[in-house]
Amino acid sequence: MTPVAILRIVIFLALLVTSVYLFWTAFHKRYRFLMMGAKEDRTDNTPERIKGFLKYVLAQGKVVAEPAGLGHFVIFWGFIILSFGTLDFIAYQYFGVHLPYGEAGWFLFLHELFSVLVLVALAIAFYRRYVLQPMRLDISVEAGVILGLITILVISDLLVSGLQVALGEQEPSALVPVATGLGALFSGGNPAALNAFHEALVWIHIVTLLGFLVYIPRSKHLHMIAAPFNVYFRKLRPPGALKTLDLEDESVEEFGVGRVNQFTWKQLLDGYACTECGRCHVNCPATLSGKPLSPKYLILKMRDHLVQVGDAMLAQRAAVAAGAGGPDVEVAATAELPSLIGEVYTEDEIWSCTTCRACEEACPVFNEHVDKIIDLRRYLVLTEGKMEPEISRALNNMERQGNAWGRSRASRGDWADGLDVPVLEEGQEVEYLYYAGCAACYDDRNNKVARTLVGLLKKAGVNFAILGGAEECCGESARRLGNEFLFQQMAEQNMEVLKNYKFKKIVTADPHCFNTLKNEYPEFGLNVEVIHHTQLLADLIREGKLKPEKSLDLDVTYHDSCYLGRYNGEYDAPRYILESIPGVNLVEMERSRERGMCCGGGGGGMWKEERLGNRINVMRTEQAMETGAEAIASACPYCLIMMEDGTKAKGVSETVKTLDVVEMLDMSVN
């Protein structure tokens, strides 16, 4: 080996060691920041986690759900294949040997194919970001640097291959048409000049590669490492089940999250995993309506704040741990950190969320936005006692009267007067307990829906009963508004009532009650099947117990409830009912099913005034009107109220009907 060859290897190894050291120090520091978060066990159900990894990481399942994701799919797999090519590149250029696969025709073909595909994907990415400039993408120098580095790597690699063909180091082949073509282009050139050009490109490729390695943990491209872990450790519990706080732990002085290390390590990992693709941004009703909340920036602000205070956290914890006897490190380390509320997030951001989960549905790396919002609300309400006046009023009403409307607790069962509805008594057993919910009991419009549902259940011969005045609010709004104490109190009171009665299933027309009873009450002891009224009615139609016969002759668009759809995966039952009705022509809104837009009533939105931006329910009504439908159908009491208010605001309430699916079925059956 010549002295020059030895010098090349020494320089390469020096650069490699330096870059690996710089990569590791930055990566390890960010890992230590992550471990400053609260503990959380995400190691359950390994088979399901592996299955998700294969589907959503290797197959890029959620990434390719949108056309733009195809480019990322190409870059992702191109990166993997080109990485194997890079190993062979290094082995050959510095040590004169190929790895076992390095000269295989199949690998050379794949390597060049993906090199070209990656260049095409990069060109499209440049065009989208810097020419089209969609709302979801930020025009950042960092993004340009990353795209530029990848472009240099691919082009330099192709040019080196072409020069090797021209210099006789690689055979021309139909399997590598680009290298062969470049080789023909360079052939006939001065050998010394070609060798110099080749050497320069080799070093450009290596320096760019190692520079990229150093840059990764210091940039948004940390998601290359973090995202696969984020997918593996994704939440497997039902999306509608919030984490239950231990309110009896006397050592806890603050509830919720007020400082960054009160988030769990997994919540902090979301920040590293974020690809900044903006899918959450363009699907969030708060963002689209001009409110200060963006789920994208919710995550990025957390990440940036963590990096900003990370060194101070580490130093502080080390100082505390070195103290006499090693006192409670976590409590002491938390005490001096800046508050997230005011320093990082505004209260308007925190209260703008409707908890619709459109952000989580869209996120390709399974970031969990809603839990963070709820944790921040819990801190505001339980620790600081701060909330908007309407929220305080709703929570007080729930505490005093058992409902957010503030109506008399004693009148809860009055909605069923005159219907001859069986009221469940102790010792009696029925198949279905109809849990009416607060909206049916206290809102006049939804009172009519409940009465209509009772008529259909009786007509179908369903064995059911209600609790009447013994029914209690499930507490869903209290929990989503951050008052975990009130929610748990109401849940425990409810279970004290329910355990005195015998029933096989619970049916409810309120998706919010449905979600809470189905996904959250099992933790408090409820062990019966909970179904939504549209699921029961769809079954009754299939069984021939309800027969829609009268033609309605209506163009109808269906508005998906977030808590029925995205939270519990039920999109088909309401549509089946509507399509079973003669004369109903179902026309879908552009935003429907998984991509449906919230009405604005979720997450306590029913009880808040929208002072900022546009009204979400009016925007959703406009989307419904664009279909030309004569009626807007829904299957949620909050949605019905919000959409009815929307049609009134638009001045079309006389021409565009707002109806529950139950009412439309009743019009055809009776």
Domain ranges for the chain, please list them: 41-224, 260-386, 393-541, 554-669
What is the rounded distance in angstroms from the CA atom of residue 302 to the CA atom of residue 85? Answer: 37
List Cβ neighbours of 307 (8 Å cut-off, separation of 6 or more): 30, 33
Residue 327 above 50 pLDDT? no
What pLDDT sits at residue 138? 82
DSSP state of 345: B
What pLDDT sits at residue 337? 82
CA distances from 670 to 186, 355, 552, 666 (A): 83, 37, 12, 6
Amino acid at site 294:
S
Strands 631-634 and 584-586: unpaired
Mean pLDDT of 61-86: 89
Amino acid at site 601:
G
On whether the CB atoms of residues 340 and 37 are closer than 8 A, the answer is no
What is the rounded distance in angstroms from the CA atom of residue 232 to the CA atom of residue 24? Answer: 22
What is the rounded distance in angstroms from the CA atom of residue 37 to the CA atom of residue 33? Answer: 8
Q: What b/e sequence results for 468-500 when a residue is b if at least 16 CB atoms lie within 10 Å of its CB, and e otherwise?
A: bebbbbbbbbbbbbbbbbbbbbbbeebeeebee
What is the rounded distance in angstroms from the CA atom of residue 355 to the CA atom of residue 606? Answer: 12
Looking up tokens 């925190």 gives 350
- pLDDT class of 334 with cuts at 50, 70, 90: low
For the packed helices 3-34 and 191-215, what is the interaxial angle rounded to 10 degrees? 20
Of the candidates 69, 73, 44, which has an alpha carbon nearest to the alpha carbon of residue 58? 73
What is the rounded distance in angstroms from the CA atom of residue 439 to the CA atom of residue 445? Answer: 9
Residue 328 above 70 pLDDT? no
CA distances from 393 to 68, 74, 397, 437 (A): 45, 53, 6, 19
Q: What is the largest CA-CA distance in the chain?
A: 102
Q: Provide the mean pLDDT of the chain.
A: 92
Helices in 66-104 by DSSP H: which ranges?
Answer: 69-95
Please state the length of the chain. Answer: 670
Phi-psi region of 421 (alpha: psi -120 to 50; beta: other; left: phi over 0): beta
What is the rounded distance in angstroms from the CA atom of residue 151 to the CA atom of residue 127? Answer: 14
Per the structure block, which two tokens stand in for 107? Answer: 């690998």
Of the listed ranges 9-18, 135-144, 321-330, 362-371, the least confidently predicted one is 321-330
What is the rounded distance in angstroms from the CA atom of residue 430 to the CA atom of residue 422? Answer: 10
What pLDDT sits at residue 324? 45
Residue 329 above 80 pLDDT? no
DSSP state of 409: G
Strands 631-634 and 657-660: parallel
Query: What number of CA atoms fall less than 13 Å from residue 86's CA on the CB side?
Result: 20
Residue 171 above 90 pLDDT? no
Residue 189 above 90 pLDDT? no
What pLDDT sits at residue 335? 55
Looking up tokens 């590669």 gives 209
- pLDDT class of 665 with cuts at 50, 70, 90: very high
What pLDDT sits at residue 325? 47
- pLDDT class of 331 with cuts at 50, 70, 90: low
Radius of gyration (C-alpha) of the chain in whole angstroms = 30
DSSP state of 79: H
Identify the H or E element spanning 586.
strand 584-586
What pLDDT sits at residue 426? 81
> Do the first three CATH levels of 393-541 and 554-669 match, i.e. the same topology?
yes
What pLDDT sits at residue 81? 93
Question: How large a percentage of the chain has pLDDT more than 70?
Answer: 98
Residue-wise pLDDT tens digits, 573-593? 999 999 999 999 999 999 999
Residue-wise pLDDT tens digits, 547-574? 999 999 999 999 999 999 999 999 999 9
- Of 1.10.620, 3.40.50, 1.10.10, 1.10.1060, the CATH number of 260-386 is 1.10.1060
Residue 330 above 60 pLDDT? no
What is the rounded distance in angstroms from the CA atom of residue 120 to the CA atom of residue 114? Answer: 10
- Of 3.40.1350, 3.30.1360, 3.40.50, 1.10.8, the CATH number of 393-541 is 3.40.50
Which top CATH class is 554-669?
alpha beta
On whether the CB atoms of residues 70 and 128 are closer than 8 A, the answer is no
On whether the CB atoms of residues 146 and 221 are closer than 8 A, the answer is yes
Residue 250 above 90 pLDDT? no
